[in-house]
Amino acid sequence: MQGVLSGFTVGVTAERKAAEIGELFARRGARVLYGAAMHTVPLPEDGELAAAIEAVLAAPVDYVVAITGVGFRGWIEAAQLGGLGDRLLAHLRSAEVVARGAKARGAVRGAGLVESWTSPAEESAEVLAYLLEQRVEGKRIVVQVHGDPMLGFREALRAAGAEVVPVTVYRWTDPVDLAALDRLIDAVLRGEVDALPLTSAPAATNLLARADRTGCGAQFREALRDKVFIACVGPVTAAPIDAAGLPYVMPERARTVSLVRLVADELPKHAVR
């Protein structure tokens, strides 16, 4: 496997695990270009998040929806910092906990809670469908929201008669090093990037949006379509790429290691074609 990507350039748009992902590709001989496409900003524990925690505690909860692992952990950590951690966990133990995917499920279990159901496809739409099947009229549902406010998700539950309490743990902004992202976009335009492994929907969304804001959106999409092997870690990450009409592949398992292995296996074949 070592050296299988020698001569290829891989663009890494992740923020939190950029070095780890880049090293996995570098070990296989690839040249790695870094350009984080978004930045995660935790909300202050004494602001909106603290108010949301108090709202959760104000009445019994029937369902808890864990959307992301980092978000769910951040919620519990914020409650602990505010002196409400034990009370919040005790309050949630009587609720049915639904997880969007494996990472969210891991965070739920790490907090000492037990999930009742996990989305096999790790998709919010599948979570919503499951909840609506439960006949949630009159139920109180707490939704741990990620950077996307999930307004459609929440409105569908309200339309079904549920009370929805959103808990927003963090939001997304442009990356701290915006110049690095611009350099990565420019490299794609020059035909210098062979593969883009994408690990989050916000990064994929902002990658395309940044190209649009800098006036090269159409050319960037054309370069991605014609010259770049795009690999998405899972269907959630792939959604904005699919919406843009761009070709992509996904590993069978939504894991970073599986994504790297897929690129290593398929990029050389793609280059030959």
Rounded to 5°, the CA angle 188-229-221 comes to: 50
75 pLDDT more than 80: yes
Confidence of residue 157 (pLDDT cuts 50, 70, 90): very high
The answer as to CATH 3.10.180.10 being correct for domain 9-38+174-272 is: no
Q: Evaluate whether 21 touches 12 at the Cβ level (below 8 Å).
A: yes
Contacts of 108 (CB under 8 A, 6+ apart): 66, 72, 97, 99, 114, 115
Ramachandran assignment for 189, one of left (phi > 0), alpha (psi -120 to 50 degrees), beta (any other): alpha
pLDDT of residue 44: 58
Taking all residues of the chain, what is their mean pLDDT, rounded to a whole number? 92
Averaged pLDDT, 2-10: 91
Q: Evaluate whether 187 touches 9 at the Cβ level (below 8 Å).
A: yes
Most confident of 45-49, 59-63, 67-71, 203-207: 59-63
The gap from C-alpha 134 to its chain's centroid, in whole angstroms, comes to 26
1 pLDDT more than 60: no
- Annotated domain spans of the chain: 9-38+174-272, 41-172
Contacts of 73 (CB under 8 A, 6+ apart): 107, 110, 111
pLDDT of residue 245: 97
45 pLDDT more than 60: no
Confidence of residue 146 (pLDDT cuts 50, 70, 90): confident
Query: Do the first three CATH levels of 9-38+174-272 and 41-172 match, i.e. the same topology?
Result: yes
Confidence of residue 46 (pLDDT cuts 50, 70, 90): very low
Of 272 and 3, the one with more pLDDT: 3
pLDDT in tens, 91-110: 999 999 999 989 899 999 99
Pairing assessment for the beta strands 31-34 and 9-12 based on DSSP bridges:
parallel
Tokens, residue 61: 């909860």
Architecture of domain 41-172: 3-Layer(aba) Sandwich (3.40)
pLDDT of residue 41: 79
pLDDT of residue 221: 98
* pLDDT above 90 as % of the chain: 75
Averaged pLDDT, 60-73: 94
pLDDT of residue 239: 87
Most confident of 63-77, 119-133, 181-195: 181-195
* Distance between start and end Cα atoms, the chain: 21
Of 6, 11, 9, 7, whose CA–CA distance to 29 is shortest? Answer: 6
pLDDT of residue 271: 73
Q: Evaluate whether 65 touches 127 at the Cβ level (below 8 Å).
A: yes
Averaged pLDDT, 167-173: 86
pLDDT in tens, 186-210: 999 999 999 999 998 889 999 999 9
Confidence of residue 2 (pLDDT cuts 50, 70, 90): low
254 pLDDT more than 80: no
pLDDT of residue 273: 53
